[in-house]
Amino acid sequence: MIQLQSIIMRAEILTIGDEILIGQTVDTNSAWIGAELSKAGFDVQRRVSVHDRHEDIISALSQVAGRSDVVLVTGGLGPTSDDITKPALCEFFNTRLVTNREILEMIEEMVKRRGYPMNDNNRRQADVPESCTILENKMGTAPGMWFEKDGTIFVSMPGVPAEMKYIMSEHVMPALKSRFTTQVIIHRTIMTYGTFEAKLAETLAGFEASLPGNIRLAYLPCYGVIKLRLTATGKDAGSLARQVEEQVGELRKLIPDLIFSENEEPLEKVTGLLLREKNLTLSTAESCTGGRIAGLITSVPGSSDYFKGSVIAYNNSVKTGILGVPEELIREKGAVSEESVRSMAEGVRRLLGTDLAVAISGIAGPGGGTPEKPVGTVWIAVASENRTATEKHTLGRERHVNIERFSLAALNLLRRQIKSL
Amino acid sequence: MIQLQSIIMRAEILTIGDEILIGQTVDTNSAWIGAELSKAGFDVQRRVSVHDRHEDIISALSQVAGRSDVVLVTGGLGPTSDDITKPALCEFFNTRLVTNREILEMIEEMVKRRGYPMNDNNRRQADVPESCTILENKMGTAPGMWFEKDGTIFVSMPGVPAEMKYIMSEHVMPALKSRFTTQVIIHRTIMTYGTFEAKLAETLAGFEASLPGNIRLAYLPCYGVIKLRLTATGKDAGSLARQVEEQVGELRKLIPDLIFSENEEPLEKVTGLLLREKNLTLSTAESCTGGRIAGLITSVPGSSDYFKGSVIAYNNSVKTGILGVPEELIREKGAVSEESVRSMAEGVRRLLGTDLAVAISGIAGPGGGTPEKPVGTVWIAVASENRTATEKHTLGRERHVNIERFSLAALNLLRRQIKSL
């Protein structure tokens, strides 16, 4: 077993904003920052959110000061008066606001380009604490601000995701990487589909017990996909990577049928890569998922190379009129049936002239369930030139969750069919 | 001005899990819990996330103990061994794990229903700290646990959203509400579309300055929508509601054209309500958004009453072959043009036989831009019986953001057209 010295740099993320605490905004910024810091070998040891309240901001800043090397702060820098971070920063760092000429000019130019006159809200964005280093923000009007106090680095950034990401990527991460020599941390995430967590954990109990001391395994279930995350820490990137690769090889032997990606690629990306590799085109016919499958597929840049289009047949008249599902079939078997979904898949494949077609019909809820076909019932079909595969799932009661799980189940059936071609 | 005594109950949310800190999972649980607590009049004063690490959990629990009345903890209760919350709870509350017979039986039954044999991971879920009150979890195998220590209530729940929500709704919120008589807090969110934050803040500067001392205004921009949140605190629900209503009336006078909902309803819901009210049906033809507009529309329960379906014409052959866009039109004007998008809207409206149709064609990026039509260019059309309205937007560079903003711009044009009918 490898014994490691703990030389990890400690980071914290502080988000400021009532909207996060009262649940109006989901905090995606922290997730993104956490991922960037982890990749760079920092230990993100805590994430804290506080109100847009002067005393809460000061108190949070004081608490993190002693325990972390780097604190990344987002939020509270917008042009409107609910944003009070800058005065709090001035108090905490014992400095005052001064107008920055360069920023003012940049804001003037940006506002002009949008075709609006400059106003006081815009002008206030150019006021910055005197003691900080300015980090340019080409995506918006509020700059990033870099402070140091008692051995801790504080960086304050706007909460608008695109602006925060720009400042992080262009300024903060390069500066942090050059300043700190961190321990190497490798996160490797293996994607699986087709079982549930307790069962998978049983299958992998022996594997987990035999992992070296510097590698940990975590299970992350999400809409039917279970991610297996290996976290390895060490000093040498090369040997650590080899060590992780060895464990991935073990997993490959243990659960070959469940793994669909060894590098955290989602199903829509894996499916797209397979289609591209085999030079196949795809169409979809969706009922209950209302475009979510097509939305997942087209979220991948370049998907226009293999995805031709879709017919969302929400109303049965679209299933019969456009996709050519026989009316009597729907009358006798119902729109949520193996026969109907098979006919939908074959219909859209013919109509759009693609190699493969996915079709789906189910009951997402909350209404529409019957004793024989309760909410959560879904039929999926994948048609190719010579055969049409079908599959039935019975999932839960929540509409939003069902739409997501149905769509991933369809992508997984598609993936398996492409592999079998 | 109304002066209020501060009698707000203080709450905190603690989430446990490496996946949140390293950014692999976006913390939607905290947002949901924050919204529930706020609605009930609690002040969610802080949200903290820590590692799946014994000493970090203990340290976080110790810190919140003094400063809050209620602490809601999620995560770390799954069946797999990366979950170490229960032993930490035992140490902090000075108790030990005991097997709970009832939970064991419930787990046995649940596992049987799924058709799998019981394993040790399942069995361990029935072990609970002796000193806690058990909160039944009908959505999964890990129960909720209610502790009290030195005047603070601690509730530990599993991190799986559906399970956490069940325990919160069935057990935690009713118990908290009966225990605490909290101050009344009203959050009212007015939805606007059609301007940007600094400009809106200028328009509303006088309104904001004249707000009574117990009401605050916040701006929350998101993909082109700007939410205006009024937060009011007081003792009497009735008079507070009247006071908020008065301010909403002011906003209605100041920005009538920008407001699309006075109750935080998203564009897809407002549009659906308008369609239902006017008894109109809808279809869509999407290119660059790949099904996102249909996905938004069908995310609303009951949307099958007015939404018939969609043709996702990702490939030009679908635009010409199915929607009937003339080939020479695409050749001469391009697929991203006023003429093409107009033809798409009229084509899908005819094809699916709906009263209204939305069409969209644009360049989401990262590839596909030209000097004349850069990434971020989009054309939108809404066709009705007598006219087709079109609109052009030039937005940003990020694919994911563009797909979202394009879709909302289309829904807003649709909304305005329905209102004008």
Chain A partners of B354 at a C-beta cutoff of 8 Å? none
pLDDT (0 to 100) of residue B24: 83
Count how many Cα atoms sit within 13 Å of the Cα of residue A76 in the half-sphere of its side chain: 25
**At residue B216, what is the residue type?**
R
- The pLDDT of residue B251 is 97
Condensed to tens digits (0 to 9), the pLDDT of residues B244-254 reads 999 999 999 99
- From B317's Cα to the closest Cα of chain A, the distance in A is 8
Confidence of residue A212 (pLDDT cuts 50, 70, 90): very high
Minimal-distance CA residue of chain B relative to A284 = B312
pLDDT category at B84 given cuts 50, 70, 90 is: confident
Domain boundaries, chain B: 10-179, 184-261, 267-420
The CATH number of domain B267-420 is 3.40.109.10: no
| SS3 state at A126 | coil
Give mean pLDDT, residues B105-130.
83
User: Which pLDDT score is estimated for A82?
Assistant: 62
* Of A348, A269, A412, A272, residue with least CA distance to B313: A348
Using CA atoms, how far apart are residues B390 and A270, in angstroms rounded to an integer? Answer: 37
Record the pTM: 0.79
Q: In chain A, which residues have their Cβ closer than 8 Å to the Cβ of B79?
A: 197-198, 201
pLDDT band at A123 (very low <50, low <70, confident <90, very high): confident
Q: Which of A203-207, B123-127, B156-160 has the lowest mean pLDDT?
A: B123-127
Give the DSSP per-residue string, A215-268: EEEEEEEETTEEEEEEEEEES-HHHHHHHHHHHHHHHHHH-TTTEEESS---HH
Cβ contacts (< 8 Å) between A352 and chain B: which residues? Answer: 315, 317-318, 321-322
Cβ <8 Å between B21 and A35: no
Q: How far apart are CA B248 and CA B233, in angstroms?
A: 16
Average pLDDT, whole number, for chain A?
91
Mean per-residue pLDDT, A211-218: 92
Per-residue pLDDT of B58-81, as tens digits, reads 999 998 887 899 999 999 887 765
Nearest to A11 by CA among A75, A54, A72: A72
pLDDT of residue B357: 98
Q: Does A223 touch chain B (CB under 8 A)?
A: no
A113 contacts chain B (CB < 8 A): no
With contacts defined as CB-CB under 8 Å, which chain B residues touch A30? 20, 23, 27, 49
Q: What is the pLDDT of residue B185?
A: 82
Q: In what order do the strands lie in the sheet with A282-286?
A: A388-394, A377-383, A356-362, A282-286, A307-313, B307-313, B282-286, B356-362, B377-383, B388-394
Mean pLDDT of A398-416: 95
Fold for the domain defined by A184-261: Alpha-Beta Plaits (3.30.70)
pLDDT tens for each residue of B337-386: 999 999 999 999 999 999 999 999 999 999 999 999 999 999 999 999 99
DSSP labels, A186-205: EEEEEEEESS-HHHHHHHTH
Question: Contact B22/A38, CB-based, under 8 Å?
Answer: yes
B259-302, pLDDT tens digit by residue? 999 999 999 999 999 999 999 999 999 999 999 999 999 999 99
Please tell me whether residue A176 adopts helix, strand or coil conformation: helix
Q: How many CB pairs under 8 A join A and B?
A: 317
A138-158: average pLDDT: 91
CATH 3.40.50.150 for domain B10-179: no
Residues in chain B: 421
